[in-house]
Structure 1
Amino acid sequence: MTTPPDTAAADSAGDKLDIGVLKIAGVVVLGAIMSILDVTVVTVAIPTFQHDFDTTYAIAAWSMTGYTLALATVIPLTGWAADRFGTKRLYMMALVFFVLGSVLCSTAWNIESLIAFRVVQGLGGGMLMPLGMTIMTHAAGPQRIGRVMAVLGVPMLLGPIMGPILGGWLIDSFSWHWIFLINLPIGIIALALAFIVFPRDNPEPSQTFDFVGMLLASPGLAAFLYGVSSIPGEGTVKSAKVLVPALIGAGLLIGFVYHALRTEHPLIELRLFKNKSLRFAVLTMTLFAMAFFGSGLLLPSYLQQVRGESTLMAGLLIAPQGLGAMLTMPIAGRLVDKIGPGKIVLTGITVMAVSMAFLTQVKAHTPYALLCGVLFVMGLGMGCTMMPTMTAAIQTLTHAEVARGSTLMNIVNQTSGSIGTATISVVLTSLLNRGDTLSSKGVTLPPGAPDPTLANAAIGSRYSDQLAHLPAGLLQEGFDLAARAFAHTFVVALCLLAASMIPAFFLPRSKPAVPQGAGDAPVVVH
C-alpha cells in the first residue's frame, strides 16, 4: 500500500535503503542486465552469424547496428510515455517487447530476419534503462539517489565485461541461438516480479503528444547514429554513407532543438538544461562516455589480435575492471548522498586517467599480472564516476521532471558512446594502416593480392594460414607495431577523460537540498 510522505519519512530518506526499495532495485537490475548484456553478447557472435548465414562481416554487424538504432528511436518517447501510461505498465510492456524480440531472434533463418527481430528487441530494450532509473528514483527519494544509482550501475559496468564471457561460453558450448533464448526465463521472472513488486501506477494527466518533436528527434537521432556508426566500416568521414545520414540527422536534431524550446510540452525537455547541476553532469557524461565506451573496444581487440587470446579468455582478463568497480560503487553511492557528487566524480576520473596513462604504454608482451592490476585500479575509478555523474543530473530534479531527466541522460549516454566508439575505431584503423608493408620487407605476394602493413599482417596471421607462415621475426615486428597502434589510440581516450574533468569540477560538492516538488512521490511500503 502507499502512504503520503510525512516528516518521519523525510527524515528516514537519509538512512540506508529499506527492503521495499531494494526489491524494486532488484527487479530493475534484472531488466537492465538483460538489455545491456545483450549488446555485448551479440558482439562476439558476429563472426558466427557471418559464417552460419553466409554473409559479409559488414552485413552481419547490422545485427548490432539495427538494435542500436531501435534504442535511439524509442528512448526519446520514454519520458512522455511514462507520464502518460505510468512507469510500471510501460516497463512491463518494454519487457514483453524485449523477450518477444529475443525469442524471434532465436528463430532467425537468415541475416535479414535476424536484423528485423533485433529491431523489435531494441524497441523494448531502449526503454528499460531510463524507466528503471525513473522507478528507482521515485521509490528512494532525492536524498538516496546516489545509493540506488550505484545499484543500477552494476549492470552498466559489468555488461561490457561479462558479455564476452557469457557469449563465448554459450556459443562454444551450445549454439548462437542460446544468447537470445537465455532471455526468455530471465524475462518471465522479471515480468512477474515487476507485476508484484512495483507500486501501482498513478499516471499524471496526459499531456498533448509532441508529434512534431517525434518526427524530428527519433529519426534524427537514428540517422545521425547510423552515419556515425558507418565511419569504422568506411574508414573515413568523407564517405557518402557517413555524411548523408549524419548531416540529415544533425539537421533534424537542430530543428528539434528549435522546436522544443518553443513548445510547452516537448518530447525531450531541453529546458532542464537550465538546471546547473544537470548541465554540467551532461557535459561530464558526454566526454566520459566517449572515453569509456570507445576505449572499451580496445582491450578485447588487443588481447585477441595482438596477444592471441580467445574471446572467453579476453573477457576473463578484463574482469578485474568490473571487480574494482563493484568495490567502490556502493561506497561512492553513499558518499554522493552525503557530500554531493563533485569530489567523488573528480576522484574517479583522476584514478581512471592515471590507469589509462599506463595503457598508453602497453606493449606486445606486457605482463598480464601488471595489466590486470591496472584494470582493477581503473575499475575503482569507474565505480566513482559513471553513476555519481548520473546522480548529479537526477537528484536536483523534481518528481515530475525525473522521467524526462532520465530519458535525457540515456540519450546522451547512447549518443556519446556511439561517437566515442566510432572515433576510437577510426583512429586505431588509421594507425594500423601506417608503416612498412610486407612487400617493402621483401615478401613476395601473389599477383593482385593486397599488400598489408606489418601490423595488419601480424593481426591477420591469427586468422590466415598463409600469413601465419611468415618469418617469426617479421611477425614479431608486426605485433610490436600493432601494440604501439593500440597504445597510441589509448591516448585519445586519455585526452577525453582529462577533458571531462573540466565540467566535473563544477558538479555540486555538498549534500543537495531536496528539490521543490520532490515530496510529491508516494512512499512505498511493502
Structure 2
Amino acid sequence: MPAASSVPATSGRTPTVIRVLSLATFVVILNETIMVNAIPRLMGDLHVTERSAQWVSTAFMLTMAAVIPATGWFLQRVTTRRAYSIAMGVFLFGTALSAIAPTFAILLVGRVIQAGGTAVMMPLLMTTLMTVVHEHDRGRVMGNVTLAISVAPAMGPVISGLVLQIGSWRWLFVLMLPIAGLVTWLGLRQLENIGEPQTGALDVSSVAFAALGFGSLVYGLSKFSPDDVTAPALTVLAGVALIVIFGVRQVSLQRKGTPLLDLRVLLVGTYAKALTLMAIAFLAMLGSMILLPLYLQNLRGLTPLETGLLIMPGGLAMGLLGPTVGRIFDRFGGRLLVIPGAIGITAALAGFTQISASMPYWQLLALHVLLMISLAASFTPVFTLGLGALPPQLYSHGSSMLGTLQQVAAALGTALVVTVMSARSTSLIEDGADPVSAQLDGMRLAFGVSAALSLLVIVAAVLLPNRSADPHGHGGPDGPDAEPDTSGVDAQSVADGAEAITAQAAIAPQLVKD
C-alpha cells in the first residue's frame, strides 16, 4: 500500500477499488457476529460448556486486537493486490477449517485464522479510500463504506438465526465459502495496485509486545465479573504495562527505524480528538448492544431470531443513512452532524434507562433506531475528519490505530455494563428483591452509566473542527491552481486550517528522517 501523496485522487465517483474492498469487508465483518446464536448448538454438538463455547466470539475479538496494530506496517510493505489476496486467502482457509472442524479446539483455530484475515480488511479499505478519493468526496464515499460495515454486524445474528432454524451451525461457514470465494475472485479481477510498497525491516519485539499487550488487555476486560475481579484486573494491568513498553519502543523506532505502529498520528490534534470521540461512542454503543439482547431474551422471552429481527432496523437505518450523511458532510462540514449525533446518542441511552417488563416494543425499536442514526451521523464525519487530518504517510497507521481502539473499546464497554448490571442485580437479590426486578434495575443502571459516558462524546464533538484542512496537496475541487473561494471563510475555518498546518509542521521533520 502507498504512503505517498503522488497517487492521484479521483473526484465525483466511487472508485472500483473501494466498491470491491467494501464488499469484501462486508463479507468478513459479517462473521464477527454470525456465531452469536450458535452457542447452544456448539455446546450440544461439541460437548463444551457455555463459558467455553463463548470463545468462538472471544477468540475472534482477541485476534483482531492482537493483529490490527501490525497492519499499518504491513500495508505499507505490500501492494494492494497482495494485501487483498493474503487477507481473503487467510479468511477463506479459516472459514473452510471451521466448517469441517471435528473438535471445538479446531473450530477455535479456524475462528482465529478467520479473524486474522478480517483484521487486515478494515485498515486496507480505509487506507485505500483516503489515498484514492478526493478530499471533497470523502464524506460521500465514507458514507457508502459505512453502509457496508455497519449493516454487516446487524445482519449477522439475523442470518445465523435463519440458518440455525433449518440446519447445523456448520452451514454458517459452508454458505460463507462460495460467497467469500466469489468476492475474492471479483477483487483479484478488478483491483489495481495503488502506489508503491515501501521498504523496512519488521521489528519482532514490537509485534510481540503489541500482540501480548492488546491481547491481554482485551482478554482481561472480557473476563470481568462481580465474582471474578482480581484475575482479570491483573491481566488488564499486565496488558497495559506491555502496551506502555510497546509505545516506548515505537517512539524509539520513529527516530532510528521503522515503527510497527507510528504514534505520531497522536500529534495531530484533529485525529486525536476524533479518536477519543470514536472510542467513547463505540464503548457506549457496544454496551447497549450487549444489554438489549439480554433484556429481550432473558426478561421478555424473545428467541434469538426475534431479537435479531427487532434490532435489525436500527442497523439497517445506520447503514442506509451513511451515504446521505456523507453528502451532508461534504457540503456543510462535520459540526452539523456530529454535535446533534452526539446529543442523540445520549438521549437514546437515557431513554433505555426507563425499560420495564412491559415497555412497548415500538418504543424499544424507536430508541434503538435513534441510537443507530445518531451513531451514523457521528461516525462518518469523525472517521473522515480524523484520517483526513493526517499526512498520507500515516494513513495506514491511523487506520490501524482506529481499528485497535475499536476492539479495546468494545471489550471495555462490554465489561463495564455487564459488571455494573451484575453487581447491582446481585446486591438487590441479596437484599430480598425478586430476580426479575433486580435484573431490570441492574440493566437500568448499566444503561445510565453508558448515558453518562456519552456526555463525553458531546464534549468531544464540540471540540472537533468543522473540516480538516487538506494537507495532501490536492487543492480545492477545481485543482491546486484554482483561485481560492473565500466567500465562506470564517474564524472557525481559519482555526481548523491553522491546527492542521501546525500539526503537519510538528511531525514533518520526523517523517523526513524516516
Deviation of the 1:95 alpha carbon? 0.7
- The counterpart of 1:490, out of the listed 428, 431, 447, is 447
Deviation of the 1:230 alpha carbon? 1.3
Where does the alignment leave 5 or more consecutive residues of structure 1 unmatched? 442-452, 456-477
Task: State the partner residue of 1:354.
Answer: 347
Report the AA paired with residue 251 of structure 2: L
Query: 2:373, 2:429 → 1: CA distance?
Result: 39
Task: State the partner residue of 1:258.
Answer: 248
Report the AA paired with residue 239 of structure 2: G
Query: Which runs of at least 4 in structure 1 moved beyond 4 Å after TM superposition?
Result: none
Report the AA paired with residue 471 of structure 2: P
Deviation of the 1:38 alpha carbon? 1.0
Deviation of the 1:517 alpha carbon? 5.1
TM-score of the superposed pair, with normalisation by structure 1:
0.84
Task: State the partner residue of 1:515.
Answer: 471
Report the AA paired with residue 245 of structure 2: G
- The counterpart of 1:332, out of the listed 317, 325, 339, is 325
390-399 or 151-160: bigger deviation: 151-160
Question: Structure 1 residues 518 and 492 mapped into 2: Cα distance closer, same or farther (>3 Å)?
Answer: farther
Query: 1:69, 1:81 → 2: CA distance?
Result: 19
Task: State the partner residue of 1:274.
Answer: 267
Query: 1:133, 1:284 → 2: CA distance?
Result: 18
Task: State the partner residue of 2:233.
Answer: 243
Deviation of the 1:294 alpha carbon? 1.5
Task: State the partner residue of 1:460.
Answer: none
Equivalent residues of 1:397, 1:518 under 8 A apart: no
Q: Secondary structure at the match of 1:384?
A: helix
Q: Secondary structure at the match of 1:392?
A: helix
Report the AA paired with residue 153 of structure 1: T
TM-score of the superposed pair, with normalisation by structure 2:
0.86
Task: State the partner residue of 2:290.
Answer: 297
Deviation of the 1:327 alpha carbon? 4.4
Deviation of the 1:407 alpha carbon? 0.8
In the comparison of the two structures, how many residue pairs are matched?
A: 469
Task: State the partner residue of 1:216.
Answer: 209
Task: State the partner residue of 2:200.
Answer: 207
- The counterpart of 1:154, out of the listed 147, 150, 153, is 147
Task: State the partner residue of 2:389.
Answer: 396
Query: 1:43, 1:126 → 2: CA distance?
Result: 19
Task: State the partner residue of 2:135.
Answer: 142
Q: Secondary structure at the match of 1:505?
A: helix
Q: Deviations over 1:124-172 (max 9, x none)?
A: 1111111111122222133222222212222332233211111111112
Q: Percent identity?
A: 28
Matches within 5 A, 1:99-498: 99-232=92-225, 235-238=227-230, 240=231, 242-264=232-254, 265-436=258-429, 454-455=434-435, 478=436, 480-498=437-455
Query: 1:271, 1:61 → 2: CA distance?
Result: 37
Equivalent residues of 1:320, 1:379 under 8 A apart: no
338-347 or 115-124: bigger deviation: 338-347
497-506 or 133-142: bigger deviation: 133-142
Where does the alignment leave 5 or more consecutive residues of structure 2 unmatched? 480-514
Question: Structure 1 residues 404 and 371 mapped into 2: Cα distance closer, same or farther (>3 Å)?
Answer: same
Equivalent residues of 1:341, 1:391 under 8 A apart: no
Equivalent residues of 1:74, 1:123 under 8 A apart: yes
Report the AA paired with residue 388 of structure 1: P
Deviation of the 1:68 alpha carbon? 1.4
1:56 aligns with 2:69: no
Report the AA paired with residue 288 of structure 1: A
Deviation of the 1:235 alpha carbon? 3.6
Query: 1:436, 1:157 → 2: CA distance?
Result: 38
176-185 or 23-32: bigger deviation: 23-32
Task: State the partner residue of 1:466.
Answer: none
Query: 1:399, 1:312 → 2: CA distance?
Result: 44
Deviation of the 1:363 alpha carbon? 0.7
